[in-house]
Amino acid sequence: MSRRKFKLPQKQYKAKRLTFVEEIAMWLGEQPDLMIHYLKNRNTGGTPPYILMYLESMVDLKKINDQIVQTLTGMSHEFSVGELAERIPADNTKEFDEVQQAGHLLLKGYTLILQQRHRRGFAVNTGKMPQRAFSEPEAEKVIFGPHLGFNEQLSDNIALIRKYVDRDDLRFKSITIKHPSDKKVYLAYVAQTADPQLIKEVERRLEKVEVKDLNDVHYLEEWIIDRGLSPFPNFYYTERPDVVAANILEGRVALMTGNSPVAALLPISISHFLMAPDDHYYNPIYASFLRVFRLIAAVLAFSVSSFYVALTMVNHELLPFQMIQTIIQAREGVPFPIWIEVLILEFALELVIEASRWTPGNIGQAITLFGTIVVGQAAVQAGILNATVIVVVSLEAIASFAVPVYRASTMIRLLRYPMIILASFFGIVGILLYLMLIFIHLVRKENLGMPYLLPLAPFDLSGFKDTLIRVPRKMMDRGNLINKE
Amino acid sequence: MRLIYLMIILSLFLSGCTPPLSIEEKAIISMAGFDKKDNKIQVTAFIQNPAVLGKARAGAQKDERPVSILKTEGNTIDFAVHWSSNFVPRHVDWNHMQVVILGEELAEEGISHVLDFIQRQPEASTLPFIFICKGITTRELFERAFEFTDSPSRYIQEIIAPSREHTNFREVRVYNLLNDLNSPLTDIVVNGIRLAKKKHYVTAGGHETFYITNTLGVLKHGKLAGWMDKKASSGYMWVKEDRWDHAVELKNERYKVYVNHDITTNKPDIKVNFRGKDIKNIEIEVDIESKISEISHSRMPLTTQTIHLFEKDLEVYVEERVRHMIEVSQKMGADILGLGYQVRKANQKYWEQYKTEWAEKIYPRIHVDVIIHVQVENTGDIVEKTETNIENK
């Protein structure tokens, strides 16, 4: 067997008539890992009857050797392409007769079997995609419960969901969306609980999607949402199969793409952002306490610095006398107005967060330490910032990290900047009006036809069973078991 | 929808014309005094400057004090206050006053315009305690207080906290006065304040201290009508205030012992009895429950009879004070217990007919019966031995 790396014929190709193999190689362009094998049959000898083409980085060489080379070299005589299909012990095979078709198959990890002088070929799936082992997602770690997350292999992820949702009405619907190479998106749902209208609507919206690139399910969010821009997250993204399973059992739909460990759950309401994956693994009283606590943390993260600015700049009368004395003492010699001081510190906080996000772990610690010492201590000693502002902004930062969904906590951090500026000019009135604007937006916002503020607006008492609090499973499940029929 | 958003945003500009001022740019008044001298209103106030403490912490300007006195005067309070902006470096802020002290002379002429001034301040707080200076002008009081404390209002509040239970201290805040002045049925009682040598509580400097008097000033139609003596003030407290935890030490003549009563409850009840169209009498009944916490003769056996005697002693003590208080208030013509209100409740027609004459003619002559019931709940001792049937056999 001769084996060589293929080199593109440079200028002479115009003069010479190209073979089918050369045409395919030309179509692919520069591909340093393109391999072409000329197989000699042990029994027939002579000119190589078969030519194998594959991209070395995408195939399993053992598979090629076992399934193709062994079979072809051991054959008693030469077979046509149609006849080969029955003789090669592989299940995923395809025939082709066009250059473009052959090129696509090569790029997907197929090995092409061609014969000289024929413009037809036969492809065997020998693909071996680079793959990561299952691990616990960094952003959704739990103390108790399964420590398992998706990987980038769609088939593996589907298998995991099947494992968790052990039901015969679990469905995976594949939808092809407009993309240069027609990407597939999968909708996972449980037929009995999911609303057929919802599935139709998601399908309808997915059909309109036109993407140049689709590396992840996040790319689809902006195509599917109801109304223009909103700072509030529309989908709940998770890398945990148990979270996907729990949600699709409740009637939601999971949207998944290949090459990404993330599944998007829809439709969701704002209450989802207070839920952590392990709430269901705790005692209901403790889980409810945690959820209420997270709500308080979210409110604190959103509003503490604005209230501080409003109370110290406009509405002093609401502060107790002793508190005023403490704040004035701390502010002695600080050159900036309070709201600028707060914004400087908020900016420094974002800087530390962003800087530590992009630096490797061991250097990241140095940044945090430097940030803490410089901002926390030196700035106060130098009289640039006052200690109460540091307490306020730190409290706010810690509270924002107590919100379990990272996207929600970034949204909270983003939304408070306008509120700080309004508070500095208009005090409590400014804060209240800003909150009104946000509430108007939230009340109007819908997520695939579902009100975003559910179960608060429109009010639905039964909806609170697993949102702000978590009632015992007996109360949640009883009477809600779906009939298996 | 856009219109709604626009309206909300525009409504921000209706939020008032107070410019946003950082907290340290304000001269915060912690305590203010108003007095009258030579027909002019004297305003004296303590301005807190906590920034000095911050500076002192950093080790600079140690001679500066965190409190300064503002002295200003004018024919009206508002002018006096505005005039003060000539020499106070920051914006004067009246919203955090903790204590308001009124001069005796001003109180005799009427306090309504002071209350009016306090109310008119933007975002005014009506929570400050209010006192009337006794035997000293407010300015003198403030100047002398400036010598011994950096935080006079806090000092007064510290005295008030324990006074609530043990002295004739009546908690009167600006809003109480505003309410009472607006309801003409009840006249108001306010505590006095003066300075006293530290006899009982000695600090390193041995300075003077504030002293909240046990005598109560009576404000009739918003003017100081006079001071009740200590006995009458005490009588007033038995009827109008909660005397929980109040200690009364009484001598029992028969056993020659001193008994200390620790009061647990005092429930007053006022009844108006009519004879025909006229008032026959008014009954003031107070049910008191107490605990005997100490007897000077520790080995004295307590029996039901002796306890009855001690109850009687307390009844006499309280009755004497309440009667005295009624006599004093009748002389002043100030219905401080709000009996007129009880009469109106009992007989609307009568009240409508005589309400104009009530304070001057009817109240001073009315017959008031005082009935006190005391019950000792607990002595901490076993009063009578429990005898079991077996022992009897």
Question: Whole-angstrom Cα distance, residue A226 to residue B16?
Answer: 39
Q: Give the nearest partner residue to B11 out of A325, A333, A433, using CB atoms.
A: A433
CB-based contact B101:B138 (threshold 8 Å)? yes
Describe the crossing of helices B174-182 and B112-120 by its angle, rounded to 10 degrees: 120
pLDDT value, residue B384: 55
What sign does the CA torsion over A44, A46, A50, A55 have? positive
pLDDT value, residue B201: 64
Contact between A313 and B20 using a beta-carbon 8 Å cutoff: yes
Which residues share a beta bridge with B285?
Answer: B269, B371
pLDDT value, residue A483: 42
CB-based contact B157:B98 (threshold 8 Å)? yes
Average pLDDT, chain A: 84
pLDDT value, residue A484: 39
Question: Whole-angstrom Cα distance, residue A54 to residue A410?
Answer: 46
Burial class (CB in 10 A: 0-12, 13-18, 19+), A158: middle
pLDDT value, residue A412: 92
Which tens digits make up the pLDDT trace of A155-172? 889 999 999 998 888 999
Q: Minimal Cα distance from B123: which residue of A?
A: A317
A338 touches chain B (CB under 8 A): yes
CB-based contact A408:A402 (threshold 8 Å)? no
Is the confidence at residue A111, as pLDDT, over 80?
yes
The three state secondary structure string of chain A is CEEEECCCCCCHHHCCCCCHHHHHHHHHCCCCCEEEEEECCCCCCCCCCEEEEEEHHHECHHHHHHHHHHHHHCCCCCCCHHHHHHHCCCCCEEEECCHHHHHHHHHCCEEEEEECCCCCEEEEECECCCCCCCCCCHHHCCCCCCCCCCCCCHHHHHHHHHHHCCCCCEEEEEEEEECCCCEEEEEEEECCCCCHHHHHHHHHHHHCCECCCCCCCHHHHHHHCCCCCCCCCCCEEECCHHHHHHHHHCCCEEEEECCCCCEEEECCCHHHHHCCHHHHHCCHHHHHHHHHHHHHHHHHHHHHHHHHHHHHHCCHHHCCHHHHHHHHHHHCCCCCCHHHHHHHHHHHHHHHHHHHHHCCHHHHHHHHHHHHHHHHHHHHHCCCCCHHHHHHHHHHHHHHHCCCCHHHHHHHHHHHHHHHHHHHHHHHHHHHHHHHHHHHHHHHCEECCEECCCCCCCCCHHHHHECCCECCHHHHHCCCCCCCC
Q: Which helix (H) or strand (E) holds B89?
A: none
Contact between B20 and A436 using a beta-carbon 8 Å cutoff: no
Q: What is the pTM of this model?
A: 0.78
Q: Which amino acid is at A400?
A: S
Chain B closest-CA separation from residue A416 CA (Å): 17
- Decide: helix, strand or coil at residue B183: coil
Which tens digits make up the pLDDT trace of B189-206? 888 888 776 666 666 666
* Choice among A368-382, B20-34, B47-61, B177-191 with the minimum mean pLDDT: B47-61
Cβ-Cβ contacts under 8 Å, A427 against chain B:
15, 20
pLDDT category at A320 given cuts 50, 70, 90 is confident
pLDDT category at B86 given cuts 50, 70, 90 is confident
Separation in Å, CA B179 to CA B109, B184, B201, B222: 19, 10, 36, 11
Is the confidence at residue A294, as pLDDT, over 50?
yes
CB-based contact A338:A424 (threshold 8 Å)? yes
Which tens digits make up the pLDDT trace of B365-380? 999 999 999 999 888 7
Separation in Å, CA A321 to CA A234, A294, B294, B357: 44, 31, 41, 45
Q: Give the nearest partner residue to B28 out of A313, A324, A429, using CB atoms.
A: A324
> What value does the mean pLDDT take over residues A206-210?
88
Is the confidence at residue A145, as pLDDT, over 60?
yes
- For residue A305, give the nearest of A274, A344, A333 by alpha carbon: A344
Which of B15, B26, B119, B126 is the mutation pick for testing A, counting most A CBs within 10 A?
B15
Average pLDDT, chain B: 85
> What value does the mean pLDDT take over residues A324-331?
87
Which tens digits make up the pLDDT trace of A235-280? 899 999 999 999 998 889 999 998 889 999 988 888 888 888 888 8
> What value does the mean pLDDT take over residues A395-413?
89
Contact between B50 and A326 using a beta-carbon 8 Å cutoff: yes
pLDDT value, residue B54: 67
Is the confidence at residue A329, as pLDDT, over 60?
yes
Describe the crossing of helices A387-401 and A284-313 by its angle, rounded to 10 degrees: 150
A317 touches chain B (CB under 8 A): yes
Dihedrals phi, psi of A393, to nearest 5 degrees: -70, -35
Contact between A327 and B23 using a beta-carbon 8 Å cutoff: yes
Is the confidence at residue A13, as pLDDT, over 50?
no
Is the bond preceding A455 in cis, omega lying within 30 degrees of 0? yes
B89 touches chain A (CB under 8 A): no
Question: Whole-angstrom Cα distance, residue B35 to residue A353?
Answer: 59
Cβ-Cβ contacts under 8 Å, B24 against chain A:
328, 331-332
Chain A closest-CA separation from residue B45 CA (Å): 16
Give the CA dihedral A360, A366, A371, A377, nearest 10 degrees. Answer: 170
Question: Whole-angstrom Cα distance, residue A312 to residue A341?
Answer: 12
Which residues share a beta bridge with A280?
Answer: none
Chain A closest-CA separation from residue B55 CA (Å): 7
pLDDT category at A12 given cuts 50, 70, 90 is very low
**Which residue, chain included where needed, has tokens 């529309």?**
A234
Chain B closest-CA separation from residue A300 CA (Å): 22
Which tens digits make up the pLDDT trace of B331-376? 998 999 989 999 999 999 999 999 888 888 899 999 999 999 999 9
Question: Of residues B10 and B283, which shows the higher confidence score?
Answer: B283
Question: Of residues A251 and B62, which shows the higher confidence score?
Answer: A251
ipTM entry? 0.73
Q: Give the nearest partner residue to B12 out of A314, A332, A429, using CB atoms.
A: A429
Question: Whole-angstrom Cα distance, residue A7 to residue A219?
Answer: 37
